[in-house]
């Protein structure tokens, strides 16, 4: 008999780890084929139709594709075996209504071998563990018995990942979860069992030697055992190859001082923590059977955020979380300013506490995967649609990391409300165009226009500063100079003056680089320079010109930090500032220097030095 294991992944970068484990621990000859949910279904069927026994791993992201595949007429006479969480908790529907012979529940390394032995007539079916099957004699679905494989006997073969450069390498150091979160299938995986530490280190060493791009630990409770976590962190730090990065799912309020101190010694962005906050509403946290000290979590995040990448999660649709409490949860979590905030929507995972008790809160879920929440007693469908507006612009603009300066300004300085702002950004842009059809220059311009409109009445907001910052974000995204969609506000003479200043401040710059491979932007007396020579580099320069055009940097009495000295006539702290008629005239006319005045030149500048007049002439060219 020809046998095949099928892994159908959500994307190419995700390997079929479950199928890999069955393949590695299988004592029979069996092929392994991997596809993605984007692959042509007919092509998948054609690839597997020559096999007699077909085993497929099922998950929430592939179950609808799997259902279509197994109903093909080309597979009607095949022995189809399903495993994975979706099959484990939908065994009745799949065995009764689809072309499925057997379903293995839970961990399958031992059970799959036992089932193949049964199909080979070497074992009785009641000796096969974790098996659902349809007994045609009694005309009922039967289940054999539950059994966990001995974790010390489970083997791993990480070479099956094949493409270490472009795929995430999944690694497990334990199985099971200590927690009982009511929405999560991992809460059903008891007890927690650990793989031998020596084996974990050997697997890590192998993947590091292969220069795997990303190693993601699958452990559901990675940092519950702080000593074990610390040992692993120290190991990967010792054998850091300068290239590989690691991802861990952790509990944010459970980090010891020793772990935090270890993290602070690591290469920047070497590791990434995924922290499932889900909600900051205490009533919700209690209802989903979690415990969370959010204040301690915030302190921990603050201590480690400068050293690692942090991804936080929220779930919309949990019990006792209405729109207003979710808005509060969103704002409190967003203001941690982690690199990513994934705003998810509750999914009905069969077998979980929420699924088993969904009538308690009158949950309505989608009929097909991913079984997303539609409404419950606390949040309406219209409210969920509003949250989806927030999620759309959050993911588009914030999570991609392209507008860090812009969002830092509007949320930390201007202090806009994050939830309302992201919602209003989406509403503003969708009035104009479809997100998916916009080029980067178009979407950046619309983001600027939307924020300028949203913040227009905020006393802390400056439209010119926003424009200065969003231009910086836009200019530094690409390795080549992008399309410029705004008018130039710097004259040739001012550019020449400022380029000379940049060369003095940054000797590695040359006029050839500046004039051929750079873009210069200005806000008041601040200049931002980006160069596209060999690599994208940014430079900053702050100039200090008095209202009269005098270069304050040339004055021994000038200091930007020492208030006992002159900090510039625009601050007006020095004794003769208030008596200066040029300063008073500029303040009255709301100009930054005489060169910007409509009446320039006037008799007041006759007393100025030639150098000051030259500077004013440059500013007057505009």
Q: What is the 3-state secondary structure (H, E, C) of 393-442?
A: HHHHHHCCCCCHHHHHHHHHHCCCCHHHHHHHHHHHHHCCCCHHHCCHHH
CA distance 102 to 83: 9
Strand 168-171: give its sheet, edge to edge.
168-171, 214-217, 245-250, 271-278, 309-316, 340-345
Same domain, 129 and 243: no
Asked whether residue 384 is domain-assigned, the answer is no
Residue of 7, 3, 29 whose CA lies nearest to 20: 7
Same domain, 366 and 414: no
How high is the pLDDT of residue 322? 98
How high is the pLDDT of residue 82? 98
Burial class (CB within 10 angstroms; exposed 0-12, middle 13-18, buried 19+) of 588: exposed
* CA–centroid distance for 56 within its chain: 29
Same domain, 437 and 507: no
> 340-345 and 309-316 as β-strands: parallel, antiparallel, unpaired?
parallel
Q: What is the CATH number of the domain that holds 113?
A: 3.40.50.2300
Asked whether residue 388 is domain-assigned, the answer is no
Asked whether residue 505 is domain-assigned, the answer is yes
Same domain, 166 and 289: yes
CA distance 599 to 597: 5
How high is the pLDDT of residue 621? 80
How high is the pLDDT of residue 581? 87
Task: Among 111, 143, 175, identify where a domain stops.
Answer: 143
CA distance 36 to 591: 61
Residue of 355, 342, 283, 353 whose CA lies nearest to 316: 342
Burial class (CB within 10 angstroms; exposed 0-12, middle 13-18, buried 19+) of 507: exposed
Same domain, 175 and 301: yes
Listed as ranges, residues in the chain with pLDDT below 50 are none
CA distance 183 to 287: 10
CA distance 125 to 129: 9
Same domain, 420 and 403: yes
Asked whether residue 390 is domain-assigned, the answer is no
What is the residue whose two structure tokens read 């049964």? 118
How high is the pLDDT of residue 575? 67
Asked whether residue 385 is domain-assigned, the answer is no
Same domain, 81 and 123: yes
Model pLDDT for residues 522-581, shown as the tens digit of each residue: 998 899 999 999 999 999 998 888 888 888 878 888 887 777 778 888 776 666 777 888
Task: Among 524, 542, 560, identify where a domain stops.
Answer: 542
How high is the pLDDT of residue 519? 97
How high is the pLDDT of residue 563? 74
Same domain, 423 and 375: no
Asked whether residue 25 is domain-assigned, the answer is yes
Model pLDDT for residues 184-235, shown as the tens digit of each residue: 999 999 999 999 999 999 999 999 999 999 999 999 989 999 999 999 999 9
Asked whether residue 524 is domain-assigned, the answer is yes
Residue of 171, 15, 85 whose CA lies nearest to 347: 85
Q: What is the CATH number of the domain that holds 183?
A: 3.80.30.20
How many domains, in total, are found in the chain? 5
Same domain, 371 and 276: yes
Q: Measuring CA to CA, how many Å separate 569 from each of 543, 574, 583, 592, 613? A: 13, 7, 7, 11, 17
Q: Cβ(494)–Cβ(545) under 8 Å?
A: no
Same domain, 274 and 172: yes
- The pTM (predicted TM-score) of the whole model is 0.91
Asked whether residue 389 is domain-assigned, the answer is no
Q: Cβ(106)–Cβ(149) under 8 Å?
A: no
Task: Return the DSSP state at 174.
Answer: E
How high is the pLDDT of residue 559? 80
Same domain, 205 and 277: yes
Model pLDDT for residues 287-331, shown as the tens digit of each residue: 999 999 999 999 999 999 999 999 999 999 999 999 999 999 999
Q: Cβ(369)–Cβ(64) under 8 Å?
A: yes
How high is the pLDDT of residue 281? 98
Q: What share of the chain is helix, strand, coil (3-state, %, to 5)?
A: 40, 15, 40
How high is the pLDDT of residue 121? 97
Same domain, 110 and 175: no
Task: Among 81, 116, 143, identify where a domain stops.
Answer: 143
How high is the pLDDT of residue 622? 66
CA distance 9 to 36: 4
Residue of 357, 367, 233, 235 whose CA lies nearest to 307: 233
How high is the pLDDT of residue 587? 87
Print the domain residue range for 84.
3-143
Crossing angle between the packed helical segments 418-430 and 440-454, to the nearest 10 degrees: 120
């Amino acid at each position: 008999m020809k046998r095949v294991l099928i892994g159908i992944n959500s994307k190419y970068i995700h390997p079929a780890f479950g199928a890999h484990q069955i393949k590695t621990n299988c004592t029979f000859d069996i092929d392994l084929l991997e596809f993605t949910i984007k692959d042509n279904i007919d092509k998948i069927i054609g690839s597997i139709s020559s096999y007699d026994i077909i085993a497929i791993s099922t998950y929430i992201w592939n179950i609808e594709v799997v259902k279509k595949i197994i109903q093909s007429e080309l597979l009607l006479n095949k022995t189809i075996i399903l495993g994975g969480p979706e099959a484990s908790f939908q065994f009745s529907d799949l065995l009764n209504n689809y072309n499925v012979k057997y379903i293995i529940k839970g961990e399958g390394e031992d059970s799959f071998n036992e089932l193949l032995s049964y199909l080979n007539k070497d074992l009785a079916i009641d000796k096969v563990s974790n098996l659902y099957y349809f007994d045609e004699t009694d005309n009922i679905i039967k289940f054999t018995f539950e059994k966990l494989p001995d974790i010390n006997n489970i083997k791993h073969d990480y070479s099956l990942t094949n493409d270490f450069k472009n795929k995430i390498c999944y690694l497990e150091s334990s199985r099971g979860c200590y927690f009982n979160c009511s929405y999560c299938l991992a809460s059903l995986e008891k007890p927690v069992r650990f793989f031998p530490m020596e084996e974990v280190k050997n697997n890590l060493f192998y993947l590091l030697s292969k220069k795997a791009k990303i190693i993601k630990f699958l452990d559901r409770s990675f940092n519950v055992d702080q000593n074990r976590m610390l040992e692993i962190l120290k190991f990967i730090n010792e054998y850091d190859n300068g290239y590989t990065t690691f991802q861990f799912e952790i509990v944010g309020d459970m980090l010891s001082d020793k772990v935090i101190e270890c993290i602070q010694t690591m290469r920047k962005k070497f590791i990434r923590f995924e922290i499932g906050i889900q909600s900051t509403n205490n009533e919700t946290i209690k209802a989903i059977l979690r415990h969370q000290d959010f204040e301690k979590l915030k302190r921990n995040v603050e201590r480690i955020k400068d050293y690692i990448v942090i991804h936080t999660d929220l779930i919309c649709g949990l019990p006792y979380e209405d729109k207003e409490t979710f808005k509060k949860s969103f704002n409190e979590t967003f203001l941690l300013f982690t690199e990513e905030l994934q705003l998810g929507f509750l999914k009905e995972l069969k077998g979980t506490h929420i699924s088993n008790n969904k009538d308690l809160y009158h949950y309505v879920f989608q009929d097909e995967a991913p079984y997303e929440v539609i409404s419950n007693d606390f949040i309406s469908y219209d409210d969920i649609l509003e949250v989806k507006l927030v999620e759309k612009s959050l993911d588009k603009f914030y999570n991609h990391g392209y507008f860090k300066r812009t969002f830092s300004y509007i949320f930390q300085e201007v202090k806009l409300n994050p939830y309302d702002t992201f919602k209003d950004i989406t509403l503003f842009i969708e009035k104009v165009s479809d997100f998916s059809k916009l080029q980067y220059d178009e979407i950046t311009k619309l983001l600027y226009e939307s924020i300028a409109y949203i913040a227009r009445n905020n006393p802390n907001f400056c439209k010119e500063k926003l424009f200065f910052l969003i231009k910086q974000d836009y200019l530094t995204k690409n390795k080549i100079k992008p399309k410029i969609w705004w008018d130039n506000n710097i004259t040739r003479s001012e550019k020449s003056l400022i380029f000379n200043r940049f060369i003095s401040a940054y000797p590695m710059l040359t006029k050839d680089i500046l004039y051929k491979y750079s873009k210069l932007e200005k806000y008041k007396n601040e200049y931002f320079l980006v160069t596209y020579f060999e690599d994208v580099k940014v430079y900053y320069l702050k100039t200090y010109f008095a209202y009269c055009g005098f270069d304050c940097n040339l004055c021994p009495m000038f200091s930007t930090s020492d208030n006992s000295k002159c900090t510039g006539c625009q601050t007006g702290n020095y004794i003769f500032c208030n008596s200066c008629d040029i300063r008073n005239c500029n303040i009255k006319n709301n100009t930054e220097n005489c060169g910007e005045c409509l009446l320039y030149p006037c008799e007041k500048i006759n007393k100025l030095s030639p150098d000051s007049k030259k500077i004013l002439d440059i500013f007057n060219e505009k």
